[in-house]
């Protein structure tokens, strides 16, 4: 309380001193205004509290503006999915004009009698029923959704466990060749994926994996090097004495891994698993390169590409499918944001 009073009195005191008389009244006024906004000048010294308040307000304005830019396209996407875009020409004009809310919403679908009817989820209904077949796809929406779920759960769950086991071996077990293998894996990260695209494609099609879903399931099951490295960093933070104690009690490494390491490293494993789930869910390249357009195994982003590229595409339906593709990941991220952001922060501070 005392400090605050001092801060407040200070500018008044300094402005009354004799030096202040040397300044013109204009400069004096400017100084007063600057001090009000938290900037010290020769005539006035602003209080620290005021300076912090002004800076805070400025920060909030900047961050809110940024947050608006970040979130607005999502709002646009959701609002656009309720736009009625069939105007006979098949153009995107009706949807394009939208800023906050579509001009022609699905609440006013023209009927053959000349009136209007309301069907809020018209675009979604079209997407779930007829849109995929109309654009020449051999799969239904539900099938591609199932494929997407398959590709983003099975390889991710198995892959994260194999990555964690490798991380365990790297951080807690001494074995001959550990450093050599570690260096080999580190070097493998630097090989760019597109360079291997062609030979991988030829190899997988020779093995017959591109005719079914195996190509998008099996390679992921062998684990990811980056995930292993991250979990390894996390495991270094765990005390080795736990493992020593378990060893003395007669537990084998397999038991230690299942009963100690997996539960203890769960935050890191969960975070990495969720991140790879999101990556696999949004993975367009894999399905696009390896699977043919007529395959029954194509995933949702790939199906969305074909849906949009087909001449008969209705943009309202395309935007509805975008919402259906984005929504699950956003909800998942919302539920686990603390875990995911925490793990990302850990990666950031490690670098």
Applying the rule CB under 8 A, the residues between 193 and 222 that interact with other proteins are 193-203, 205-206, 219, 221-222
Q: CB of 26: closest distance to other proteins in angstroms?
A: 24
Total chain residues near other proteins (CB under 8 A): 101
- With tokens 């080999």, the residue in question is 184
Out of 9, 16, 19, 60, the residue judged to bind other proteins by CB under 8 A: 60
CA dihedral 36→38→39→41, nearest 10 degrees, is 50
Considering only residues 154 through 173, tell me which ones interact with other proteins, judged by CB under 8 A.
162-163, 165-166, 168-170, 173
Residues 160 and 193: their CA atoms lie apart, in Å, by: 20
| By the rule CB under 8 A, 191 interacts with other proteins | yes
Is residue 25 classed as helix, strand or coil in its secondary structure? helix
Residues 211 and 207: their CA atoms lie apart, in Å, by: 9
Q: CB of 46: closest distance to other proteins in angstroms?
A: 13
Of 47, 39, 38, 37, nearest to 13 by C-alpha is 47
| By the rule CB under 8 A, 285 interacts with other proteins | yes
Nearer to other proteins, 20 or 339 (CB): 339
| By the rule CB under 8 A, 241 interacts with other proteins | no
Q: Which stretch binds other proteins (CB under 8 A): 12-20, 24-32, 106-114, 333-341?
A: 333-341
| By the rule CB under 8 A, 228 interacts with other proteins | yes
Nearer to other proteins, 12 or 267 (CB): 267
Angle between helices 48-80 and 315-335 (to 10 degrees): 140
Question: Tokens standing for 148?
Answer: 């997407």
Nearer to other proteins, 118 or 173 (CB): 173
Element holding 78 (H helix, E strand): helix 48-80
Name the DSSP letter for residue 111. Answer: P
């Amino acid at each position: 309380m005392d400090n605050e009073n001092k801060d407040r009195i200070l500018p008044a005191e300094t402005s009354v001193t004799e030096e202040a008389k040397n300044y013109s009244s204009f400069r004096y006024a400017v100084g007063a205004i600057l001090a009000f906004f938290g900037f010290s000048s020769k005539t006035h010294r602003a209080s620290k509290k005021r300076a912090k308040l002004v800076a805070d307000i400025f920060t909030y304005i900047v961050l809110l503006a940024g947050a608006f830019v970040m979130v607005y396209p999502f709002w646009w996407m959701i609002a656009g999915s309720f736009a009625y875009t069939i105007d006979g020409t098949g153009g995107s004009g009706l949807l394009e004009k939208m800023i906050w809310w579509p001009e022609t919403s699905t609440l006013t679908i023209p009927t053959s009698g000349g009136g209007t009817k309301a069907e809020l989820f018209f675009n979604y209904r079209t997407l779930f029923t007829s849109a995929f077949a109309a654009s020449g796809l051999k799969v239904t929406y539900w099938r591609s959704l199932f494929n997407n779920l398959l590709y983003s759960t099975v390889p991710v769950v198995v892959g994260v466990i194999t990555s964690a086991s490798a991380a365990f071996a790297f951080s807690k077990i001494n074995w001959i060749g550990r450093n050599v293998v570690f260096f080999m894996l580190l070097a493998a990260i630097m090989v760019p994926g597109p360079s291997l695209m062609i030979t991988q494609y030829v190899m997988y099609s020779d093995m017959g994996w591109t005719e079914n879903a195996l190509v998008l399931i099996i390679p992921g099951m062998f684990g990811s090097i980056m995930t292993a490295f991250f979990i390894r960093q996390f495991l270094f933070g765990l005390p080795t004495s736990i493992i020593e104690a378990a060893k003395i009690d007669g537990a084998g490494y397999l038991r230690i891994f299942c009963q100690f390491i997996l539960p203890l490293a769960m935050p890191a494993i969960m975070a990495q698993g969720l991140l790879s789930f999101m990556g696999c869910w949004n993975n367009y390249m894999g399905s696009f390169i390896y699977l043919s357009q007529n395959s029954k195994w194509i995933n949702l982003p790939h199906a969305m590409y074909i849906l949009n590229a087909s001449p008969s595409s209705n943009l309202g339906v395309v935007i509805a499918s975008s919402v259906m593709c984005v929504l699950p990941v956003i909800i998942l991220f919302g539920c686990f944001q603390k875990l995911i952001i925490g793990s990302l922060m850990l990666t950031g501070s490690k670098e």
